[in-house]
A and B are shown apart, each in its own frame.
Chain A
Amino acid sequence: MTPTDNETGRDTGPDTGPETTIQGEYDVDTIHVAPAIELRGISKAFGPVQANKDISIHVAKGTIHGIIGENGAGKSTLMSILYGFYKADAGEILISGKPVTIPDSQAAIAAGIGMVFQHFKLVENFSVLENVVLGAESGALLAPSLSKARRELTSLAKEYELNIDPDALIQDIGVGMQQRVEILKALYRRADILILDEPTGVLTPSEADQLFRILRRLKEEGKTIILITHKLREIMETTDTVSVMRRGEMTATVKTAETSPEELAELMVGRKVLLRVDKTPAKPGPTVLEVRDLNVTDAQGVQRVKGISFDIHAGEVLGIAGVAGNGQSELLEVLGGYETATGTVTVNGEQIDLTGAKSDARSRRERGIAHVPEDRQREGLIMDFHAWENAAFGYHHDEAYRSGLLMNNKAIWQDTEGKMERFDVRPPDPRLAAKNFSGGNQQKIVLAREIERNPELLLIGQPTRGVDIGAIEFIHQQIIALRDQGKAILLVSVELEEILALSDRIAVMFDGQIMGERMASETDERELGLLMAGVTDEKGAA
């Protein structure tokens, strides 16, 4: 099947049934026999990097199939090939038993594939209706297309329980709703196969549960669903079969009912993994950080942090759990010195400025606050700078790194060599640009820079996002070692598992507030999950 064959199929649009879009391509028998999707020997290389190696997989019609793997395992590349973003170097794609070529997204849509991306592809200042119609209009004039889509949307909403206001602007609705629009977009285009890439990253546990209910409903209606995730829990709860990817290869495909999270984790990593970090109980000292009634309002006038208060003691890790976008980033930005706020914050008893000239990141560093930011590629490093230039980033005014108005490049260079050795950065070449290191090694450069300042307080956001397993263990050890030196650590992570493994105390943020605080040893994922969803507890916030 070629895309041109399907032009007419797509353009006749929602009026025709799902089967008619690929009408004549298979007979009645194969509907029940042939898998919805079959991949044979898919390979794809980016320069010297082999992202996908000889991947074969088949997904039965009317099932939910999970694909699990670490960051960089090649999951997204594989799905991008299926959606026409990349052309595979080798291999075959079969939809319902018939080979197809998918040179672009249009062909993918024509083949009945719908995709819900991790970052939604919506036009912010368009209405829900306009977003659904975009690219699937029924004619050159807009009005008939829109009224037709409106009717169609109403019936889809009824059929799949996907209620939504068609006239709401995307920028005015929440992420859960936006995701619903993406699903509706796919259904409106008569997708039989729905691919969801890390769909729960931005959702609360209860929103995620709702999503899974929708997915099961879609399955009942005969749709085939591919769920890409790195969260074992989601795989175990929702999928029928699961494939595991590691370093570009498909290491196994198993029935979900016949496997266990431990087995999947081992398959993902290639060896037994310690999901726990070895650490002794914390010995909290005096209070280092004291936050009282902190409020943050962003440039758009939205209040992101709503009057939160908490303490961190010396020799203690406080973990902030929560779904992304609930005020954790703003909290880090305020403490790191690049967002203004109201309230009071003291470090070792001395108040720090939250607005004005002395509230910048440089002043924070001078007060002994080090910061490993959530997004190292956007904030923590200058990707085009050499490693040695990055090693002084933020500390370039330091006595040791300067001589008068000039930079002391030689001193910085030597210091970088030492850091690279101590933090096992590979390759240990200070001249290499930051962009040429792997994610784990980039993070080690940032970590070395911040930890070796011997700070009173370390702010650390998403310490292991996009980092390979080997480096994760190393990074976790470094954080615990700093704690054991009697330093205070504020850890922000959206990975509950990481929060539980590293923290001594855990505070949960939801909608800019702290919903509750727990000792790490006295809580579990279930309880934290409820707090993350905004279910208040009687003990109240600190």
Chain B
Amino acid sequence: MDFLTLIQVLDSTIRLALPLLLACLAGLFSERAGIFDIGLEGKMLFAAFFSAAVAAMTGSVWLGLLAGIAASMVLSGIHGLASITFRGNQLISGVAINFLAAGLTVLIAQDWFQQGGRTPSLMGAGRFNPVTLPGALTKTVEIKEASAPMQLYSELLSGHSILVYLGLLCVPLTWWVLFRTRFGLRLRAVGENPAAVDTAGISVVRLRFAAVAICGLLCGIAGAYLSTALQAGFVKDMSAGRGFIALAALIFAKWRPWHALYACLLFGFLQALALRPDLITNLTGMTVQVQLLDALPYILTVVILAGFVGKAIPPRAGGEPYVKER
């Protein structure tokens, strides 16, 4: 495998890791606050549809992004209502949200566009187009001829949509918010011991709703990325289990922002490899089944969960609704 091919694989690694990363950070905020969220998948899908739909109707991808975020946050609100206000089962609520998104997106898509549950293809300003960094080459022929550092710069670093750079920026930002601000301190505290937060005179409900809202926001961006940057339009079930892989990455990362980035890059790399099975065959001389590559993130997660690669301890109050004690 030559250097350029490697760069190309890494390039698609970033492309594919990004929605995972955003969803993973979304889950991080929610779960650090003590609200389990297996509805990341549904929120992404919901956002993907509304982003593409609004972008298609208005021609503006930015309006699409806003619509996607709003849609995702509506589902977050339902999750918050069920798990915070009415102290319901957070897992069941998450399952319901996944189905709600899966069903409603097709239903509305059919009603609005009559194209069998998809949106029209997005073009021009209806999409997030690649950003070319200053001095980067864009033509494939030119890149092929260029020097290795130039190839790295032009192919790997340049040419992503603005959301990719934004998403990568979210990692240090999340770390900073979580560990360097008052909000972060309270957020982590409410996920560990909500009674401590409550008796300190802070509203557990408000804090958890804030966390769930941030989760919705990030899932919204992740969904918008899927349908307006990674692909040009919405198709049925396009989130394709990414919400669950993000959840797996979150556990892998043990609820820490930087590790979330590494985990998502790893899972993104596996997805990128699954797109190029020929590479592995060329490289190792063995035929690796595509199905195995597809299943690898899930198998890895199970192995991690089983504690063979260090124990993952979730936030202590996670999954439990807070009830004031006498």
Contact = CB atoms under 8 A, between A and B. Distances in A.
B193 A106 contact: no
Nearest to A119: B325
* Majority-rule SS of B interface residues: helix
Contacts of B325: 119
Interface residues on chain B, size class: 20 to 34
Contacts of B326: 76-77, 80, 85
A122 B193 contact: yes
Interface in A94-130: 104-110, 115, 117, 119, 121-126, 130
A10 B202 CA distance: 12
A141 B181 contact: yes
Given A122-B193, A122-B196, A137-B185, A143 B180 contact: yes
A421 to B, nearest CB: 33
B201 A109 contact: yes
B180 A134 contact: no
Contact of A134 (B186, B316, B324): B186
A360 B179 CA distance: 45
A44 B136 CA distance: 73
Contacts, number: 79
A139 interface: yes
A454 to B, nearest CB: 38
Interface in B147-203: 179-186, 188-189, 192-193, 195-203
Interface string B200-227: 1111000000000000000000000000
Interface residues on chain A, size class: 35 or more
B316 A141 contact: no
A126 B192 contact: yes
Contact of A131 (B196, B202, B324): B196
Contact of A123 (B181, B183, B189): B189
B192 A123 contact: yes
B263 to A, nearest CB: 21
B182 A139 contact: yes
Contact of B199 (A76, A105, A124, A142): A105
Nearest to A107: B201
A222 interface: no
Q: Which of B186, B199, B325 has the most CB of A within 10 A?
A: B199
A145 interface: yes
B202 A135 contact: yes
A466 B324 CA distance: 20
A133 B326 CA distance: 24
Nearest to B198: A105
B197 A135 contact: yes
A140 interface: yes
A355 B298 CA distance: 36
A136 interface: yes
A212 to B, nearest CB: 23
Nearest to B190: A123
A105 B316 contact: no
Contacts of B183: 140
A83 B200 CA distance: 11
A117 B182 contact: no
Contacts of A110: 201
Contact of A140 (B182, B193, B199, B203): B182
A459 B182 CA distance: 49
Contacts of A133: 185
A125 B198 CA distance: 17
B182 A106 contact: no
A76 B180 CA distance: 37
Interface string B289-325: 0000000000000000000000000001000000011
Interface in B82-132: none
A104 B326 CA distance: 14
B199 A115 contact: yes
Contacts of A119: 325
A135 B183 CA distance: 10
A133 B308 CA distance: 37
B226 to A, nearest CB: 33
A136 B196 contact: no
Contacts of B196: 121-123, 131, 134
Q: Which of A85, A105, A107, A185 has the most CB of B within 10 A?
A: A105
Contacts of B324: 85
Contacts of B203: 104
Contacts of A124: 192-193, 316
A121 B199 contact: yes
Nearest to B196: A121
Nearest to B316: A124
Contacts of B202: 106, 134-135
Q: Which of A115, A119, A135 has the most CB of B within 10 A?
A: A135
B6 to A, nearest CB: 41
Interface of B: 179-186, 188-189, 192-193, 195-203, 316, 324-326
Q: Nearest 8 pairs between A and B by C-beta?
A: A135-B200, A106-B201, A137-B182, A121-B196, A121-B199, A105-B201, A109-B201, A121-B195
12 contacts: A10-B201, A106-B202, A109-B201, A121-B196, A123-B196, A131-B196, A134-B186, A134-B200, A140-B181, A141-B182, A142-B180, A143-B180
